Chain A
Amino acid sequence: MIFSPPSALVKVALSLLGGIILVTLSFAAPVPQSGANGAAKDSAAVTVHAINLEGLKTLFKRDTANAKPLLVNFWATWCDPCREEFPDLVKIDKDYRGKGLEFVAISLDDVTEIKTGVPEFLNSMKATMPVYLLNENDPGPAITFVDPKWSGALPATILYDRKGEIVYKHFGRFSDAELRAAIDKSLGRMKY
C-alpha cells in the first residue's frame, strides 16, 4: 500500500489526537500527596472548620435576595480521584470567586485529621476556598440530606443555583468543561 501525504483534514485530526493524548497523560501524572513529603511547610495557612448536619443545612441555605450560586465539593485526603481533581477546583475557585460564585469544600476525613492531614493537603494545593470537615459520627443523614441518590462515594460535586436548587451534580471525578459550563449558566454568563 502506498501512503500518500496526509491531507489538511487528517493533519487536524492527528493534532487533535496528539492533544488529547497529552491531556490524558497529564491526567495520569502523579498528584502531590499529603504527608511528610508532600505537605506544605506552613500548615497554619489554611484553617479547616468542623461542621455538623445542622451547620450544613445553614451553609447550603440560599434564602436571601442576593444569594450567590453555591458550589460544593465533597472529598477526602484518602480519596485518589478527589486529590486528582483538586487542582482543577483550586483553579475554578480562583476564576469564579470574584464573579459571584460561592465555593466550599467539605472533607469527609476523620476529625483527627482536621489540624494535620487535611490542612497539609490544602496547603500543598494552595487552596483558598473555605473548607469544612464533616464532624458527624454517622455521616449517613448528612449524605442523605445532600442528595438521597448519593451513596456517599467520593468525590461528589454539586452546584446549587441562587434559589438553592441543584443545577449540576456529579458523583466521581468531574469534567472541568461541564462544571464550568454549569457555573457560567448559574451566574448568567452564557457562552456561545
Chain B
Amino acid sequence: MKKSQVSLLLALILILAGIALAESSTAAFDVPAAPAIGATIGDFSLPDADGKERTLNSLKGTNGSVLIFVSVQCPVSNAYNDRMEKLAQDYKAKGITVIGVNSNVAEAADAVKSHALANKLSFPIVKDAGNKIADRLGATVTPEAYFLDASNKLIYHGRIDNSRNGESVTSSELREAMDSTLAGKPVKTTTANAFGCSIKRA
C-alpha cells in the first residue's frame, strides 16, 4: 500500500471513530456536572431577548438571584409560566431577582421575546447561545432553577416545586430555600431533581 493510501485510510478511520463518538455522545446526557452547593458562580454576560448584554451581577438583587432555565416550546416549562412570574413578583421586593435563561438551540431570541410577551413574563430572560451557561451550571432540563445568594454562592439547585400542575403542589423547595436564606436560617433541602424537557444543546 502506498504512503498516500495509508494516510487516507488513517484519516478515514479517524473520521469513522469521530462519527461513532458523536453518535454515542448524543445518546447520553454528556453534560458537565452541576457546581456543588456552596460554590460561587462567576459573573457572566449574555444578551437578553432584545440583544442587550446583561451581566449576572447587574441583574441580581441585593439578596441574590434565581436563574431558571426555560423554554419556549416545552410544555413542562410552559406549565410553570404563571408560577415563575409570580415568583419574580413576590421576591422582587425582597431583593431577589428571577432571571430566565434560554439555552435551547432551536429557540431564537425573537421567539423568546414573543413568548415572554404572550405569556406576560416580566422578568429578564437571557439567551444562552452555545449553551455556555447551561454547561457551566450543568443544567439539563427546563424548568431547572438555581438560587444564588448576594455573593453568587449556590444555595439551591433543582425543581421549582413538586408538581407540573400548579394546583397539586405540596412542596415548594425553591421558595423554601429562598425564604430560609432571607430569614437567615439554614436551608433544609438544597437539591431536588428537576423534571422537564431536555435542553437542546448546540
Contact = CB atoms under 8 A, between A and B. Distances in A.
A138 B13 CA distance: 48
Given A7-B1, A13-B9, A152 B195 contact: yes
A154 interface: yes
A10 B9 contact: yes
A174 B5 CA distance: 35
Contacts of B194: 151-152
A172 B1 contact: no
A173 B26 contact: yes
B197 interface: yes
Interface stretch (B40-48, B83-91, B162-170): B162-170
B32 interface: no
Main SS of chain B's interface residues? mixed
A167 interface: no
B29 A171 contact: yes
A24 B23 contact: yes
Interface stretch (A59-67, A76-84, A94-102, A183-191): A76-84
Contact of A137 (B5, B16, B162): B162
A177 to B, nearest CB: 11
A170 B24 CA distance: 11
B29 A172 contact: yes
A32 interface: no
A175 interface: yes
B85 to A, nearest CB: 20
Interface in B88-140: 140
A9 B75 contact: no
Given A1-B4, A10-B9, A138-B170, A78 B74 contact: yes
A152 B198 contact: no
B8 A20 contact: no
A27 B197 CA distance: 20
A51 interface: no
Contacts of A153: 29, 140-141, 198
B183 interface: no
A152 B194 CA distance: 7
B123 to A, nearest CB: 24
Interface of B: 1-2, 4-5, 8-9, 12-13, 15-16, 19-20, 23-24, 26-29, 74-76, 79, 140-141, 159, 162-165, 168-171, 192-195, 197-198, 200
Closest 5 CB pairs of A and B: A137-B168, A138-B162, A152-B195, A13-B12, A137-B163
29 contacts: A4-B2, A13-B13, A16-B12, A17-B16, A20-B16, A21-B19, A78-B74, A78-B197, A80-B198, A110-B75, A137-B162, A137-B163, A137-B169, A137-B170, A138-B162, A139-B195, A151-B140, A151-B195, A152-B195, A153-B141, A154-B197, A154-B198, A170-B27, A171-B28, A172-B28, A172-B29, A174-B27, A175-B24, A175-B27
